[in-house]
Amino acid sequence: MDIDSAKAYLEKNEKKLFAGGKSGARVYDIDGECVLKQIYRAELGNDELYEAYRKEAWWYADGGAGLGCLPEVLGLRSTEEEISILMKRYQMLSRREINKELLEKIMRGLATVHVSEIPPLLMQKRHAAQPLSEEQIRASVEGWRAVLDEHPGVFDSALLERIAEGINRIISWHDSEEIVLSHGDFHWDNLLMDNEGRIIICDWQGVEAGAASGDLSFFFGRLRGDGIPLKEQELVEAYGREIRRLSGKRVTWEEIDGHIRAANVITSFTCWHEYLHGSGEERVKEIYEKMVADSNSIW
């Protein structure tokens, strides 16, 4: 099947839209065998986001050649106004089936990404991390205060000021981590499985020359936010064993833990308050208290 055949299928049959595509992409089931991902610049109304999707199309066509964890692409069309990506359909992972074996398999999949060669184009676009402006810091503090105020008397919001004072030092230190090929949006909903039980990683709009701890921290943080407990040290050690097998490099929990904590503080401080409005006390407590504890452990 090619893209034109997939579009013809959608015209003749009921359109089955997957739950994904929250960033403006339409992702359709094609006869239970394929998925068609469509993005239109005019519908997005966001040129920066559209260019991220164009980067994903480039990645599938050229940048990620030889990376075994990519979905099989059956057809691809990328223009200034429209992107269509036809891919083989895979099994979605269920949070109800999370277990140690599956999580370690995911860590092995991530390790294969991190040891892969970084394309020159991504290295050229790599820039040193920029400190947050005073305005950005204040916005994050106020965003968190609004979340904490939804639970009167439960949280000590004064701790936010200590994080705000040190956030740029954390950003600067974290940027010293070794650069690897990074997925950039590594979380549960971007993971699939093929018929042989191999992990397939999709949604590569954020692929970059970045830090291993960024992918690891984001993956752990999203699952913690869903209320799923993790033994992070065991998972990082499994990740480290695979890194050593594939590249000979040694990655220990002690070496990467500080950067995982730094990445968590940065992501939590700048982003998580946007998603926690209306959340229950326990969920807010888990994210907030870990952010505070991680920031304290870095200083």
Q: Residue 19: its pLDDT value, please?
A: 59
The model's pTM: 0.85
> In this model, does residue 255 exceed pLDDT 90?
no
Assign 128 a pLDDT band (cuts: 50, 70, 90).
Answer: confident
What does the pLDDT average to over 79-85? 96
Average pLDDT, the chain: 93
pLDDT at 164: 97
Whole-number Å distance between alpha carbons of 176 and 199: 30
Q: Provide mean pLDDT across the span 127-144.
A: 96
Dist. CA 109–CA 99, nearest whole Å: 16
Cβ distance 163 to 137 under 8 Å? no
In the chain, the percentage of residues whose pLDDT exceeds 70 is 99
Mean pLDDT of 257-273: 93
Contact of 103 with 233, CB cutoff 8 Å? no
Query: What pLDDT is recorded for position 20?
Result: 53
pLDDT tops 80 at residue 283? yes
61-80 tens-digit pLDDT? 999 988 999 999 999 999 99
Neighbour tally for 14: CB within 10 Å? 6
Average of per-residue pLDDT across 284-297: 94
pLDDT at 153 over 80: yes
Q: Supply the pLDDT for residue 240.
A: 95
State the virtual CA torsion across 94, 236, 207, 64 in degrees, nearest 10: -90
* pLDDT at residue 94 in the model: 93
Evaluate if residue 22 carries a pLDDT over 60. Answer: no
Q: Which residue has the tokens 């291993």?
A: 212
21 has a pLDDT exceeding 60:
no
Question: Mean pLDDT lowest for which of 19-33, 75-89, 268-282?
Answer: 19-33
Contacts 24+ apart (CB under 8 A), 39-44: 39/82, 39/83, 39/84, 40/81, 40/82, 40/83, 41/80, 41/81, 41/82, 42/81
Q: Read off the pLDDT of each residue in 157-181 and give the average, rounded to a whole number.
A: 95
In this prediction, what percent of the chain has a pLDDT beyond 90? 85
Name 40's bridge partners: 82
pLDDT at 24: 82
For residues 17-36, average pLDDT:
83
Rg over CA atoms, the chain: 20
pLDDT of 18 reads 77
pLDDT at residue 23, rounded to an integer: 73
